[in-house]
Structure 1
Amino acid sequence: MSTIVQYIIVRSDLRTALNWPIGAVIAQCCHAATAVINLNSDDEETVSYLKDMDNMHKVVLEAKDEGALVKLADKLKENNVKHKMWIEQPENIPTCIAIKPYVKDNVHKYVKHLKLLKE
C-alpha cells in the first residue's frame, strides 16, 4: 500500500525575523492542518488517512518567508493540489500551508525542494 502523507509548510522567518514564540508557530500549523482536513473530509485519501489515525504521517517543512509561501501556494493551485494557506487574523499574515493527505508519490515533487523545519 502506498504511504499517504500530509505536508505542512510553515514560514521559518516567523521564529527568526518576527520573533514568534514556538507555541504560536505550532498553533499556525495546527490551524492549517485542521482546516484542510475539514475542507476535504469526503476525499478518499483523507478518509483513508484518518481511518488509520494511530499511523498518520505528517512532514513539517519550512518556507523561508511570505514570498516563498505564496509562491508555493500558487504552484499548488496551478497543479490542482488541494491545500489551505492559513492567514493569521487580524494581522492578515500568511503563516503556513497544509496540503490535504495525498499518496506521497503524487505530491512530493511539489515540496521536495524544501527543508525539514528545524529549531
Structure 2
Amino acid sequence: MHRGVGPAFQLSRKMAASGGEPQILVQYLVLRKDLTQPPFSWPAGAVVAQACHAATAALHLHRDHPHTAAYLRELERMRKVVLEAPDETTLKLLAETLQQKNIDHKLWMEQPENIPTCIALRPYPKEEVSQYLKKFRLFK
C-alpha cells in the first residue's frame, strides 16, 4: 500500500472489497445560531471557539471508541459537518433525544455562565445519526 493510506482507509477498502460500502466517519456539530444575533451578538471567533471546545471534548470523551480511533488515525481525511440550531431550547431538545437514543455526544456549556452552546457527536458513519440531524441546516 502506498504512503498516506492509513488503517482507517484500509478498513474501508476491505469493507468495499467484501461488498459493503466504505464507512465514512463524520463528526457532527450543532451550534446555536442565536448566539451570533442580538441580544447575544457574540463575535464569530467566540462562536467558532464553542464548536472547537465541543468537538475536542467529544473526541476526548470517546477516544477509546473504534470509530473515534479510526477518525483520529486519518488526520488528513477528517470530516466535520457544522449545523445550526436556532436557539437554546432546540439544542437542549436535541441533547435529550441523543441521550435517549444512546448517541455519544457532548453538550458544551460555556462557563462560568453555564450557557449551552454546541453539541458535538463523536465520529459516526453518517447513516447511523442522520435521522436525528436532518432537520438542522448547515451553519451560516
TM-score (norm 2): 0.83
Unaligned runs of 5+ in 1: none
Name the CA distance, whole Å, in 2 between partners of 1:47 and 1:107: 18
Name the CA distance, whole Å, in 2 between partners of 1:61 and 1:69: 11
1:110 Cα deviation after fit: 0.7
Name the CA distance, whole Å, in 2 between partners of 1:49 and 1:92: 30
Name the CA distance, whole Å, in 2 between partners of 1:76 and 1:107: 9
Amino acid at match of 2:85: A
Tell me whether 1:16 sits opposite 2:34 in the alignment.
no
Name the CA distance, whole Å, in 1 between partners of 2:61 and 2:96: 19
1:48-106 Cα offsets, whole Å, 9 max, x none, are 11111101000000000000000000000000000000000011100000000001110
- CA RMSD, aligned part only? 0.5
Amino acid at match of 2:34: D
2:89 alignment partner in structure 1: 67
What secondary structure sits across from 1:94 in the alignment?
Answer: strand
Give the 4+ runs in structure 1 shifted more than 3 A. Answer: none
Amino acid at match of 1:12: K
Tell me whether 1:32 sits opposite 2:32 in the alignment.
no
Tell me whether 1:47 sits opposite 2:86 in the alignment.
no
Name the CA distance, whole Å, in 2 between partners of 1:110 and 1:9: 11
Percent identity of paired positions between Structure 1 and Structure 2: 51
Larger radius of gyration: 2
Unaligned runs of 5+ in 2: 1-21
1:2 Cα deviation after fit: 1.4
TM-score (norm 1): 0.98
2:3 alignment partner in structure 1: none
Name the count of aligned residue pairs: 118
Amino acid at match of 2:104: K
Name the CA distance, whole Å, in 1 between partners of 2:116 and 2:79: 24
